[in-house]
Structure 1
């Protein structure tokens, strides 16, 4: 099933495509691929920016720092990571995590997301020509000083991508936008169309304040599984995609609004209902007052992270 879905996706991209969404950087292979694979999901503005940035200012000619959303923050995507100082890290990511019980229309929650300027996407053909496994080669190619903080971040990304998945987890790293979409398609293993979402916040982040939940919508209609793809620190865009098998996760688009006069922001979010294999030192447990295997842990997706779900019949 998965292989046939991927083959169908490739054939769709080769065929002529109709006019795309206004949010898509038309003309690029990545844009055409996205439109064919996800015809009912306009490319998020953050991804549009990274595709266009990679076209106008290629990482192969112009150095882009291997940025992290928050240094050493353990944002919840590598559940086995032990943070260097869990108490400090908990305070730095407090605005990302929330309880499943807080996700109700009319409820108020404290939200804060930091500024983040991730590296741009390389065109798929360019990315496929670059070896992605050796730290020394990566540092030499992009002129990164060995022993520097940036070198350490690049090394951490390579190590994370080499790690075996947790029990019941599917994971893969992708070095192009097309690779991200194909990874999600393989993991979801369905012939149904996919839905995609990203948090619609600027790369300057969201200031820490109380936000009221305006609306909640399960991604794709809910119940069909979801894949989260997170930007990793590298000189060009590298995403780690993963999902847990079974029904232990659910993805949503949550509309939140700050004080009166501020616009509503549509945030991609995921709730983890089984945290039994997470490390006890994970900062989410301190923030939410729970423990491995306890109450669900939910979090928003930072700027330019992606979520994919199965689009069920009669649902957007």
Structure 2
């Protein structure tokens, strides 16, 4: 049997090949901070994670326009969707575990962290770090297991523990088939929507931080996974990953999806599109696609 380290290297190779979001682990910290400063600001402005702050429904932030319900998943359906454009070459990079484990990752160590990264107390970067650390330290909802991965190794460990496999992981991500600077527009669902069969999944969402941090979580309640073909009004083509949460009864009343959709907790399923730099992990032993359109 291959060793655990060999398994992790094999899986990381797959990510490098297919998603093109993980580059060299060993770039210097100074270069990382220079390259990621604008990225942190961009993620702060466009952050669309499920636990975002509340938004006024009459002045909806385009960055939260990623939610819909399962009944809308049909050919010809046209909806406004935000797909943030992020350049992998300037995105925060994964640092090796021994490097991130040597640094504190806690809100009560904020002052130490700000000194390490040379951020002022009132800077946008400091605010982004505070938001991420608060999110990572928040309690999970009922039936949820959550973890903030600060390295590829820790992400794989968490995912393998949830899915119960070692080298049988499969990862999905949204793919942009055309290049465009447009982030928010109307998209129309095309044919060939595919349902991905999996009894368990782990979703990992990027978080604003000087190096790559992913909020990874899994829920006991039923989820449905789809790969959806979309065409934008300007001709953009996207193969988008979608997760539909079938039970929202344990979500808080302030969940941004309820404001976007005008629904209440537990009254409906909630689906959402994934940005291109977010991952969906399943076991290869059960994952397969079935066309539903």
Q: TM-score range by the shorter chain?
A: 0.7 to 0.9
Query: What CA distance in whole angstroms lies between the structure 2 residues aligned with 1:157 and 1:294?
Result: 29
Pairing of 1:213-228 with structure 2 (within 5 A): 213-219=190-196, 222-228=197-203
Q: Structure 1 stretches of 5 or more lacking a match?
A: 1-7, 16-29
1:14 and 2:1 correspond: no
- Deviations along 1:74-133, one digit per CA (max 9) or x if unpaired, are 73522xx652x4436734235311221121234333322233454222233322332322
- Bigger drift between 91-100 and 146-155 goes to 91-100
- Deviations along 1:136-157, one digit per CA (max 9) or x if unpaired, are 1211111111122221110121
1:115 and 2:85 correspond: yes
1:172 and 2:147 correspond: yes
Specify the alignment match of 2:210 in structure 1: 235
Pairing of 1:151-190 with structure 2 (within 5 A): 151-190=126-165
Number of corresponding residues = 279
Query: What CA distance in whole angstroms lies between the structure 2 residues aligned with 1:185 and 1:245?
Result: 16
Aligned in 2, Cα 1:268/1:203: closer, same or farther, shift over 3 Å? farther
Contact 1:194 1:309 in 2 (8 A): yes
Specify the alignment match of 1:251 in structure 2: 225
CA-atom RMSD, angstroms?
3.1
Specify the alignment match of 2:23 in structure 1: 51
The structure 1 residue matched to 2:12, chosen from 31, 34, 37, is 34
1:195 and 2:170 correspond: yes
1:96 and 2:66 correspond: yes
1:295 and 2:265 correspond: no
Indicate the SS of the match to 2:175: coil
Q: Structure 2 stretches of 5 or more lacking a match?
A: none
1:250 positional shift: 2.0
Pairing of 1:268-283 with structure 2 (within 5 A): 268-283=241-256
1:273 positional shift: 1.0
Indicate the SS of the match to 1:139: helix
If the length of structure 2 is used for normalisation, what is the TM-score?
0.81
Indicate the SS of the match to 2:264: coil
Contact 2:97 2:152 in 1 (8 A): yes
Contact 2:136 2:215 in 1 (8 A): yes
Specify the alignment match of 2:257 in structure 1: 284
Contact 1:72 1:89 in 2 (8 A): no
- Deviations along 1:139-177, one digit per CA (max 9) or x if unpaired, are 111111112222111012112212222211000011112
If the length of structure 1 is used for normalisation, what is the TM-score?
0.76
